[in-house]
Amino acid sequence: MKILVLNCGSSSLKYQLFDMTDESVLAKGICEKIGMEGSFNKHEAGENEIKAEIVMNDHADAIKIVMNNLINKDFGVIKDMSEISAVGHRVVHGGEDLYESVVIDEKIKKAIDSCSELAPLHNPPNLTGITACEKLMPNVPQIAVFDTAFHHTMPKKAFLYAIPYVHYKKYKIRKYGFHGTSHRYVSARAAAMLGKPIEDLKIITCHLGNGASICAVRNGESVDTSMGFTPLEGLVMGTRSGNIDPAAVLYLMEKENLSSKEISSLLNKESGVLGLAGIGKSDFRDIEKAVGEGVENARLALDIFSYRVAKYIGEYAAAMNGVDAVVFTAGIGENAPGQREEICDYLTYLGLEIDSAKNNCRGKEIDVSSEKSRVRTLVIPTNEELVIARDTIALIKK
């Protein structure tokens, strides 16, 4: 069976085509700047890598380009679209009601749309991708896999905010958590690497990228996570502030005469390491370069990032009354050995110690713990698309 996995962002579309007989990737790519000038597609299939500027007015145009690539006579990997058994869609927010992967129908689409108020940057393009696929592939099952679903197991003591309970009941204001498919994948891989049942383990997973979150996984279930009502809460990120005193937000709005939209933009798009480093860039590679050039605030930005990550790991070790393994994943987690070492230097009190030589690696699955470390430190490349493909095939078989 061949499964197409789609991840629609506000102006992008990532995709992978899996052959689920052996879970191999037949083709993958990305469409960028959809609806903008200079839109382009990058497509990889085997040894073929094609990058071309193509006008894409909307996600429907992008999906047509993806399908044309897959059946292209020169570099295509299937004869026609009938070879695709189903399409798995990443949907960011499922709210309280959508906490399992589901076959999409009209009722599910309405439920996804109702969550758009909670994820205005993510759910609308997710829904656009679903609608476009339904039109272009009318007889192919469409499956929704939710970013928030893995965190449905959090207890109330972890997900409720200390505001009047009536506002939770009326507006569903609570912690939802995100990056669920990533935390789910790497925690399962961690158990496999340790050779123990996940039901017997306490694992802290650190998804560290431009967006970043940490999750406490006990007995295979999420019991707490750093992102909250929105993906703004928690760690310092590329452009997001993470945790901040709400009174400071109100104070800043008053002093700068900012509207709610303007303060939201400031906290989501102008803060984080971008705002701290002051070099006009949020990519950690650029900030590390600035550190090498002696930019003091760039060093400060990385120090604050590492400090916050370490604090959350300590918090979740306390929440689970112990920890067996700490996992690093995503762009920074997988590819920034310096940041990993800085974070782990805070955690020696847990009995965690890494081997610097082992830790000097990028993008591979490895245990970087020292021989005497009581807590294992693992680097595991995430694979959210494979999780979506697995859930998709399980549902259509069922």
Task: Select which of 80, 105, 113, 147 is catalytic.
Answer: 147
DSSP string of 205-231, one letter each residue:
EEEESSSEEEEEEETTEEEEES--SST
Q: Helices marked H in 32-155 — which ranges?
A: 59-70, 106-114, 123-136
Give how far Cα 317 sits from Cα of 34, 42, 88, 150, 370, Å.
42, 41, 34, 19, 20
Torsions phi, psi for 101 (to 5 deg): -65, 140
CA distance 363 to 371: 22
Which residues make beta-bridge pairs with 44?
A: 28, 49
**Chain centroid to CA 129: how far?**
18
Q: Is 147 a catalytic residue?
A: yes
- Residues annotated catalytic, as ranges: 147
